[in-house]
Amino acid sequence: MIGALLAIGVLYTFGAGAARGVNAYLASKYNRPSPPIQPPPPEPSFPGVVSKEKPWLFGKEGEYEKYSNGCNISTKYETDNHPRAYYAIPRGSETDGNQFSEKSDKIVGILYHTPENYMFPLTPDNSGKIQNGSRGLIELVRNHKKYNYLINRIGDIYRIVRDDQAANHAGDSLWADAKNYYVLLNESFIGVCFESKFDGASSLDQILTEAQIISGRRLTDVLRAKYNIDDANCTTHGLVAVAPEEMLIARHHDWVHFFPFEAMGLSNKYKVQPPTITDYGFTYNDEVLAKKLGGKLWEGAAMAVEEFNRRAARAHVSPDDLRLKLRDRYLAQRNKTFGLHAEQGDVNNPRVSKNPAAGESTESGADQSTSAAWKALTEK
Ligand SMILES: [Zn+2]
């Protein structure tokens, strides 16, 4: 089923892909910068069943919100964290890191994750263990205030951290739409996590169930309608996470490939040049390439590396010199966002410490690797 959906997506993207190829060729031929992120329009992946109406809240029933597109959200485990607050940074700002627009608390995007929990095979005899695993994951996510939403393996959708509150999902991170850059995406993006394991998978159907894909699509449509979220700002953790100390991409690498953008009604962000590379100069090394990216840069990232090198050449500086300057810019912007939260006087807010790892849980692997402890817990 997933294979069939993707095959349809591929058919739909072929025409648009050829047009973008021509544009990239012209841009490189005339040595002009490629245009800022302008992803192609979303492509239909469920032809014939895509609703033309935006979903709306149809009603509430017990601990569920029910939406007109069939999206049911459990509110049973809802919790809060801290109110959203960030600065949008206009694109094209210079590198002093000081050009911000108004402080905002609006939700501008969706960031998709995997939690890297232990996965029992989805078979009838494992139902009990799978349910225990999901309950444990909900508890963990709730305790760490880690994501706004969690979609379990049979497609149940749970709201954990309330929408108007920042969850601790993104860490050091950066993305942009046609208008603005956003740093520290906890503040401006909603975190949606699919209960799954990304590391070690070699295809989408090893990561998500069909039920998760259907629920992910419905939740995406609900959130986009509710907050008027631009397709350009629906992306994955692996494409936005950075390590500013070393200027490396993919600090977390969940969904650096295989994310079913088309099935979510979204344009394919693997074809978009990530602003982390084009505009801020984040880069990769052999270790990142081998251990996190599966030996290959995604298509947009490969184009972005060339674009950044051309940009440095036009400015008559080495890529590394430009990178250092842009690192200061990222750090200044990040610290200004931290400052917003220091003003709240919340002494318990770990991000006030300006520790780069603060604002997210201790993690390893693709996202948070809890495998050993996890298995022990769920096998009780
Ligand atoms: Zn993640």
Cβ atoms < 10 Å from Cβ of 287: 9
- Taking the centre of ligand 1 as the mean of its atom positions, its distance from the CA of residue 236, in whole angstroms, is 8
For residue 337, the CA-to-ligand 1 centroid distance in Å is 20
CA separation for the pair 124, 173 (Å, rounded): 39
Q: State the pLDDT confidence band at 341, using cuts at 50, 70 and 90.
A: confident
Strands 174-176 and 165-166: unpaired
149 CA distance to ligand 1 middle (Å): 12
Could you read off the pLDDT of 89-128 as tens digits, one per residue? 998 776 555 677 778 999 999 999 999 988 899 999 999 9
279 vs 333: CA distance, rounded Å: 14
DSSP 179-240: SEEEESTTTTEEEEEESS--TT--SGGGT--HHHHHHHHHHHHHHHHHHT--GGGEEEHHHH
Residue 353 — very low, low, confident or very high, per pLDDT cuts 50/70/90? very low
Q: How far is the CA of 112 from the centre of ligand 1 (A)?
A: 7
Residues 119/37, Cβ–Cβ less than 8 Å:
no
Residue 269: what residue type? Answer: K
**Are the beta carbons of 249 and 298 closer than 8 angstroms?**
no
pTM, full prediction: 0.81
Ligand 1 centroid from CA 110, angstroms: 12
Q: pLDDT tens, 141-154?
A: 999 999 999 999 99
Half-sphere exposure of 47 (CA within 13 A, CB side): 9
**How many Å lie between the centroid of ligand 1 and the Cα of residue 370?**
13
Task: Kindly report, residue by residue over 163-175, the tens digit of the pLDDT.
Answer: 999 999 999 999 9
pLDDT tens sequence across 248-295 = 999 999 999 999 999 999 999 999 999 999 999 999 999 999 999 999
**Token output for 11:** 């058919």
- In this predicted structure, what is the pLDDT of residue 37? 54
Across the chain, mean pLDDT equals: 83
Ligand 1 centroid–CA 367 distance in Å is: 5
For residues 184 and 168, what is the distance between their CA atoms, to the nearest angstrom? 10
Per-residue pLDDT, averaged over 19-43, amounts to 48
Sign of the torsion formed by the C-alpha atoms of 181, 187, 193 and 198: positive
Q: What is the mean pLDDT of residues 212-229?
A: 97
Contact 175, 235 (CB under 8 A): yes
Q: Which residues pair with 79 in a beta bridge?
A: 161
What is the pLDDT at residue 366?
60
Closest CA to 69 of 58, 81, 61: 58
Residue 187, both tokens: 């503040």
Q: How many CA atoms lie within 13 A of 225 on its CB side?
A: 18
Element counts in the chain: helices (H) and strands (E):
9, 17
Find the 167 Cα to ligand 1 centroid distance in Å. 12
Biggest CA–CA distance in the chain, Å, is 64
> DSSP state, 146?
-
Q: What is the pLDDT of residue 40?
A: 57
Q: How far apart are the CA of 235 and the centre of ligand 1, in A?
A: 11
**CA–centroid distance, residue 222 to ligand 1 (Å):** 21
Distance (angstroms) between ligand 1 centre and the Cα of 369 equals: 11
3-class DSSP assignment, residue 292: helix
Cα distance between residue 105 and residue 115, in whole Å: 26
Please report which helix (H) or strand (E) contains residue 65, including its range.
Answer: strand 64-67
Instruction: Tell me the CA–centroid distance for residue 296 and ligand 1, in Å.
Output: 20
- 175: CA distance to ligand 1 center in Å? 14
Indicate the fold that domain 56-369 takes in CATH: Lysozyme-like (3.40.80)
Distance 58 CA to ligand 1 centre (A): 31
Q: Is the pLDDT of residue 357 over 60?
A: no
